[in-house]
A and B are shown apart, each in its own frame.
Chain A
Amino acid sequence: MNQLIKNNLLGIKELSLEEIELIFETADNFKDVINRPIKKVPSLRDVTIANIFFENSTRTQLSFELAEKRLSADVVNFSSSSSSVKKGETLLDTVNNILSMKVDMIVIRHSSPGAPHFLAKKVNSKIVNAGDGTHEHPTQALLDTYSIRERLGSIEGKKVVIVGDILHSRVALSNIFALQKLGAEVMVCGPATLLPKYISALGVKVELDIRKALNWCDVANILRIQLERQRKSYFPSLREYSLYYGVNKEMINALDKEIIILHPGPINRGVEITSSVADADNALILDQVENGVAIRMAVLYLLAGKLE
């Protein structure tokens, strides 16, 4: 296989195993490129990409922008806080306006689940989902699994636990799809109020006790507590969450094996993870950030190859 089947990257759910592996292999090459003295290749020099962020983001937007620039694409950025969206313009109008300025590809983040899927049906442009509400965040799951693959050699047969707010997390859902396609066993762990009621229907194990979960796994992906998404109280206080679900050094030391720690960032140090765990050698947090650029270069490169 040497090209993607789909014309857009909307979610991991729609990707085949072969497509994920193609993205990984392409990312290997780009990881090599971004570690050279000159970190740039001219592949996308005639392509213009718009990063449309209707929701705040620092690292994802920065990572996409770096990926685009290292492929030599022209980049325009749009964020809703400084735009006509505030004046009442619809999503489709906003995007059509941007496309009229001859933009070839769109990277979109939106607070509504399905916003990129809606656009993909309405406009004739390549669309990359950079996070749609609580639904999917495909490039994050790709870089998470890529980082695990890089450290452990393969993902097949590995046990991965995703800890924290599963209910509001698009990272969790995309990761579940990606890990299962790559042959891993997946468990979710968190307070019962933050686990979706029917999550086990996805074929994942459910565990309420963090110590048992850590004992079971090879890899723990610790999610951030997203206070901005919680309209009501799912747990009494941050301090209590931290007491029951915060991962600390003592828990890691109590295990009879070494596990790998992932975190999609930004870290709330002392809440879901302590500094001593986040800064340890088996935490891949900064590798994830580096791999994010390579993964996004691979996705954009492969999709650009399908432009007419």
Chain B
Amino acid sequence: MQKRLLLDSQLLQITIQRLCQHLIENHNDFSSALILGLQPRGVFLANRIQKVIQELEGCHVEIGYLDTTFHRDDFRRRGIPKKASETRVPFLIEGKDVILVDDVLFTGRSVRAAMDAMISFGRPKKVELLVLIDRLHTRQLPIEANYVGKQVNTLASQYVEVGLKEQNGDDSIWLMNIEAE
């Protein structure tokens, strides 16, 4: 199996720092902004972003977790039902700026499901999307990210492997080729 390194530990840290700077530029002290991390890996990223913003600006951003399992449009089309993870939105999102956070933007279907799940908690004023890796030319829905860590040209047959420390990885992100038999 061929693989290519997209981000290593150091680059990942720099990328998150840059994304946070960009967020601070747009949202100042986050008094009307919230972050929702998408299960599972968007949650770890959301936690890291919260910490970095705290360090940089000294302000506390509220974060929540969204699980999209029950909102996916491909339930019963992928064989086995997916087990859900925790959804935790301990605040009102009505009238707020919501920043959705995920690791990889691929077809756009998770983000669509996430927006559907999010609406159950109220009507935000504005919704933005932050992703670490944006896979170009693979979208199946008209969805784009506002904050992008790294854009990558990929084929549909490839996949992006995200190994974060929170999941016993070494904070590296790889592009993998699945070779045809």
Contacts and interface: CB of A to CB of B under 8 A. Distances in A.
A301 B120 CA distance: 19
B80 A29 contact: no
A92 interface: no
Nearest to A38: B120
A37 B70 contact: no
Interface in B101-131: 116-117, 119-122
* Main DSSP-derived SS at the A contact region: loop
A25 B82 CA distance: 12
A43 B75 contact: yes
B81 A36 contact: no
B120 A37 contact: yes
Contacts, number: 56
B120 A3 contact: no
* Main DSSP-derived SS at the B contact region: loop
B171 to A, nearest CB: 27
How large, as a class, is the contact surface on chain A? 20 to 34
Contacts of B76: 46, 304-305, 307
A3 B119 CA distance: 28
Contact of A42 (B70, B83, B86): B70
A26 B83 contact: yes
A40 B122 CA distance: 13
B47 interface: no
A199 interface: no
A1 to B, nearest CB: 9
22 contacts: A3-B81, A25-B83, A29-B67, A29-B69, A29-B87, A32-B86, A32-B87, A33-B70, A33-B87, A36-B121, A37-B122, A41-B70, A42-B70, A42-B116, A43-B75, A46-B76, A71-B70, A301-B81, A304-B81, A305-B75, A305-B76, A305-B81
